[in-house]
């Protein structure tokens, strides 16, 4: 009987460890920005300081719902945005915390501005200005609307 209880507890704890966590845009807004000069580019960029609640998500599988943006004609750069293309981060509405770089294992067929739920492993990026502050790797997507 004792062994059965231990096995059940172990299975429950494993399912919690490996399950995905739903994250909202408000969760991802828990970041502060300051300007930092990057000599290699001769410019200042917004440098993130991720708050503890966001740091706790790094390396975990999460799901975020937002607007799918395909901004690369070659179909190699995908973005999940808090808002549609007409009001996304690049258009001056919102900050870097409102967009996530998506790294899929295969080419995607979602249309721009489709509402999707994306699941992937969260990577926090503070230093590589050629990538977003939030990156989801090994992504899978589901069309919501």
Query: Alpha-carbon distance 108 to 71, whole Å?
Result: 12
Query: Alpha-carbon distance 37 to 43, whole Å?
Result: 6
The structural domains of the chain, with segments of one domain joined by +, span 20-143
Q: What is the pLDDT of residues 66-81, one digit of tens each?
A: 999 988 877 778 999 9
Query: Alpha-carbon distance 20 to 14, whole Å?
Result: 12
pLDDT of residue 29: 96
pLDDT of residue 142: 95
**What pTM value is reported for the model?**
0.82
Compute the average pLDDT of residues 19-30: 91
Identify the CATH number of the domain defined by range 20-143: 2.40.50.870
Structure confidence at residue 94 as a pLDDT band (50, 70, 90): confident
Structure confidence at residue 89 as a pLDDT band (50, 70, 90): low
pLDDT at residue 128 above 60? yes
Q: Is 37 exposed, middle or buried (0-12, 13-18, 19+ CB in 10 A)?
A: exposed
């Amino acid at each position: 009987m004792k062994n059965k209880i231990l096995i059940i507890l172990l299975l429950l704890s494993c399912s919690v460890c490996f399950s995905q966590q739903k994250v909202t845009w408000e969760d991802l807004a828990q970041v502060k920005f300051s300007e930092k000069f990057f000599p290699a580019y001769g410019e200042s960029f917004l440098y993130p300081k991720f708050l503890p609640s966001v740091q706790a998500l790094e390396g975990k599988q999460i799901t975020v719902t937002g607007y799918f943006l395909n901004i690369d004609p070659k179909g190699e750069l995908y973005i999940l945005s808090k808002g549609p293309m007409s009001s996304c981060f690049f258009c001056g509405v919102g900050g870097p915390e409102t967009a996530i770089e998506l790294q899929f294992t295969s080419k995607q067929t979602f249309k721009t501005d489709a509402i999707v739920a994306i699941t992937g492993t969260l990577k926090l990026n503070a230093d590589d200005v050629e990538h977003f502050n939030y990156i989801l790797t090994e992504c899978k997507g589901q069309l919501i609307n």
